[in-house]
């Protein structure tokens, strides 16, 4: 081998090394939207819903979670792709593509659902501290103030790092399910679809869908991609992250369901809240499992309470043309920060009102999400398939078949939920 050949080979390896490091840096730079948006779906309402599913129905609804997972990945990917292609949030595209009246309707429904859901996040925090004997009124307001300071005073990267760190703590549910020692044969049987016609089952099914694939999640991931300035050239990394986030979030849902099915359902203990589940796990799976469940509940509530005000402020400001970005200050984006402040503090105060029916509020929020979701998905599908908006990045045939089939099925499920009590 000549000296020049050796030099050329060394230069080539160095160049490949630089390319590899460059790709790694790009991948690390764009991580955030997919994992944070998907994991935020497993909030206090999500933990409550899947705890109820596991305690009341065992593994029999596990098949529904398997069906939901690819749909979650698909819907989140469409939103992220629209953000990367257009540089605009979903609410802004709805305003441009449809009438202002339809936009206002979507925003009103989103505000109601997001407010109820944010209250449930603070209720989750209060429940987690209640397990340790600390009253909610003493714990929730300081946490709300801390979240407000983090979001409004911290820079964009710091907020993202905190949210990613909270996403990592979901591992507590994995440990909890190992301690619960589930019946894996029963879990395998739960993969076979089975339906029930009673309204309680239907409401639980709609809530399970609505807590996992959320309308606000569609607005949040697209606005996040835009605010992070992810271009279509970098989008391949974000697409992979979105798919990974969907799998991770539904694995966590499975851990919650399995822990409750293996203990509460087996012993005939039906629960209505995640706090009930955490308390009941103690005698059945050990106090360590109960503590882990409580830590997980606090974690998911913090992440949800941080993400939901952002999602709401992004959506409303985009819909009506107000400035919206964490890189702006109060004077540049007063409406954005005003909405953030309202959605951080007011739900926190509501959650600590004595005697408020928090369980009903949580289930109501999840069912509103389930009913609103197909409406938002129809908006999304109309926009993402418009070549004038998306150019060559419109949906493929498989994407459209799956997304439309899911939307039609969810509309049918929601209508059945409304009509079944009358029948």
Supply the CATH number for residue 192's domain.
Answer: 1.20.1740.10
**Element holding 93 (H helix, E strand):** helix 90-97
Block residue for tokens 């944010």 = 118
Identify whether 327 is part of a domain. Answer: yes
Identify whether 21 is part of a domain. Answer: no
How many angstroms separate the CA atoms of 358 and 125, rounded? 12
Number of domains in the chain: 1
Identify whether 49 is part of a domain. Answer: yes
How many angstroms separate the CA atoms of 77 and 69, rounded? 12
Q: Are 80 and 34 in contact (CB under 8 A)?
A: yes
DSSP-derived secondary structure letter, 261: I
Alpha helices in 194-234 (DSSP H): 199-212, 215-227
Identify whether 340 is part of a domain. Answer: yes
How crowded is the C-beta side of 30, counted as CA atoms within 13 Å? 25
How many angstroms separate the CA atoms of 383 and 271, rounded? 41
Identify whether 124 is part of a domain. Answer: yes
Identify whether 230 is part of a domain. Answer: yes
CA torsion, ordered 203, 309, 302, 283, to nearest 10 deg: -20
Identify whether 22 is part of a domain. Answer: no
How crowded is the C-beta side of 182, counted as CA atoms within 13 Å? 27
Structural domain of 177: 31-361+389-419
Positive or negative, the Cα torsion across 208, 310, 243, 39?
negative
Q: Are 315 and 90 in contact (CB under 8 A)?
A: yes
- Both tokens of 221, joined, read 């991931």
- Both tokens of 290, joined, read 């109960």
CB-based burial, 331-368: b 16+ in 10 Å, e otherwise? eebeebbebbbebbbebbebbbeeeeebbebbbbbbbb
DSSP-derived secondary structure letter, 271: -
Per-residue pLDDT of the chain (423 residues; tens, 9 = 90+): 555 444 444 444 443 343 333 343 333 334 445 566 655 666 777 888 888 888 889 999 999 999 888 888 888 899 989 999 999 988 889 888 888 888 888 888 888 888 888 988 898 888 888 878 888 888 899 999 998 988 887 665 666 677 767 666 777 777 877 877 888 899 999 999 888 877 788 878 877 887 788 888 888 888 878 877 888 887 888 888 888 888 888 888 898 898 888 888 888 877 777 677 777 666 655 676 777 778 878 888 888 888 888 889 988 988 888 887 777 888 888 999 999 999 999 999 998 888 777 666 666 776 677 677 778 888 888 999 999 999 999 988 888 888 888 878 777 766 665 565 555
Identify whether 8 is part of a domain. Answer: no
């Amino acid at each position: 081998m000549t000296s020049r050949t050796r030099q050329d080979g060394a230069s080539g390896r160095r160049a490949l090394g630089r390319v590899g490091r460059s790709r790694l840096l790009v991948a690390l730079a764009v991580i955030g939207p997919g994992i944070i948006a998907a994991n935020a779906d497993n909030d206090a309402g999500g933990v409550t819903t899947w705890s109820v599913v596991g305690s009341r129905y065992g593994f029999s609804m596990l098949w529904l979670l398997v069906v939901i997972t690819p749909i979650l990945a698909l819907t989140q990917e469409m939103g992220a792709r629209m953000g990367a292609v257009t540089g605009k949030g979903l609410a802004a595209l709805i305003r441009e593509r449809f009438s202002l009246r339809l936009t206002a309707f979507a925003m009103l429904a989103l505000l109601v659902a997001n407010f109820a859901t944010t209250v449930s996040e603070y209720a989750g925090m209060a429940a987690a501290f209640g397990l340790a004997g600390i009253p909610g009124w003493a714990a929730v307001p300081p946490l709300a103030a801390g979240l407000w300071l983090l979001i409004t005073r911290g820079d964009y990267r710091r907020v993202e790092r905190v949210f990613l760190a909270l996403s990592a703590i979901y591992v507590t549910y994995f440990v909890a399910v190992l301690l619960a020692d589930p019946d894996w044969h029963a879990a395998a049987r739960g993969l076979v679809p089975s339906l029930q016609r009673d309204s309680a089952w239907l409401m639980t099914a709609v809530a399970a869908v609505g807590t996992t694939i959320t309308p606000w999640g569609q607005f949040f991931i697209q606005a996040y991609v835009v605010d992070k300035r992810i271009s279509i050239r970098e989008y391949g990394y974000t697409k992979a992250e979105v798919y990974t986030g969907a799998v991770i979030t539904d694995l966590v849902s499975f851990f919650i369901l399995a822990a409750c099915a293996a203990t509460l359902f087996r012993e005939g203990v039906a629960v209505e809240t995640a706090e009930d589940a955490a308390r009941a796990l103690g005698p059945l799976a050990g106090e360590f499992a109960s503590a882990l469940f409580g830590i997980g509940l606090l974690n998911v509530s913090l992440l949800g309470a941080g993400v939901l005000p952002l999602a709401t402020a992004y959506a409303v400001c985009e819909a009506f043309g107000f400035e919206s970005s964490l890189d702006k200050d109060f004077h540049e984006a007063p409406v954005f920060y005003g909405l953030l402040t309202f959605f951080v503090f007011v739900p926190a105060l509501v959650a600590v009102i004595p005697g408020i029916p928090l369980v009903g509020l949580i289930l109501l929020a999840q069912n509103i999400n389930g009913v609103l979701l197909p409406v938002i998905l129809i908006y999304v599908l109309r926009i993402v398939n418009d070549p004038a908006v998306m150019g060559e990045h419109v949906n493929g045939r498989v994407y459209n078949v799956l997304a439309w089939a899911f939307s039609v099925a969810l509309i049918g499920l929601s209508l059945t939920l409304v009509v079944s009590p009358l029948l």
